Amino acid sequence: MNKQLRKAVIAGNWKMNKTPAQATQLINEIKPLVKDAGCDVVVCVPYIDLQAALAATVGTNVKVGAENCHWEPSGAFTGEISAEMLRSMGVTYVIIGHSERRTYFGDTDLTVKKRLRAAIDNGLTAILCVGEYLEQREQGITAEVIRTQTKIALGGISEKELEKVIIAYEPVWAIGTGKTATAEQANEVNKAIRDLICELYGKAAADKITVQYGGSMNAGNAQELLAQPDVDGGLIGGASLKSADFAAIVAAASK
* Residue 215 contacts ligand PEP per CB under 6 A: yes
Residue 27: which residues within 8 A CB-CB, separation 6 or more? 43, 52, 53, 56, 57, 62
Which uninterrupted H or E stretch holds 230?
A: none
* Residue 24 contacts ligand PEP per CB under 6 A: no
Query: CB nearest ligand PEP: which residue?
Result: 237
Residue 185 CB, shortest distance to ligand PEP, in Å, is 14
13/150 with CB nearer ligand PEP: 13
Q: Are the CB atoms for 58 and 28 separated by under 8 Å? A: no
Catalytic residue among 67, 98, 100, 132: 98
Can you tell me the distance from the alpha carbon of 166 to that of 160, in angstroms, rounded to the nearest whole number?
13
Among 12, 131, 171, 214, binds ligand PEP (CB under 6 A): 214
* Residue 175 contacts ligand PEP per CB under 6 A: yes
Residue 242: which residues within 8 A CB-CB, separation 6 or more? none
Can you tell me the distance from the alpha carbon of 42 to that of 57, in angstroms, rounded to the nearest whole number?
10
Among 73, 90, 155, 176, binds ligand PEP (CB under 6 A): 176
3-state secondary structure 203-229: HHHHHHCCEEEECCCCCCCHHHHHCCC
Check if 70 is active-site: no
Residue 15 CB, shortest distance to ligand PEP, in Å, is 6
Using CB under 6 A, which residues numbered 99 to 158 contact ligand PEP?
none
Check if 170 is active-site: yes
Q: Which stretch binds ligand PEP (CB under 6 A): 46-54, 149-157, 168-176, 224-232?
A: 168-176
Dihedral sign computed on CA atoms, order 43, 48, 51, 53: negative
> Where on the chain is the footprint of ligand PEP (CB under 6 A)?
13, 15, 170, 175-176, 214-217, 235-239
* Residues with active-site annotation: 98, 170
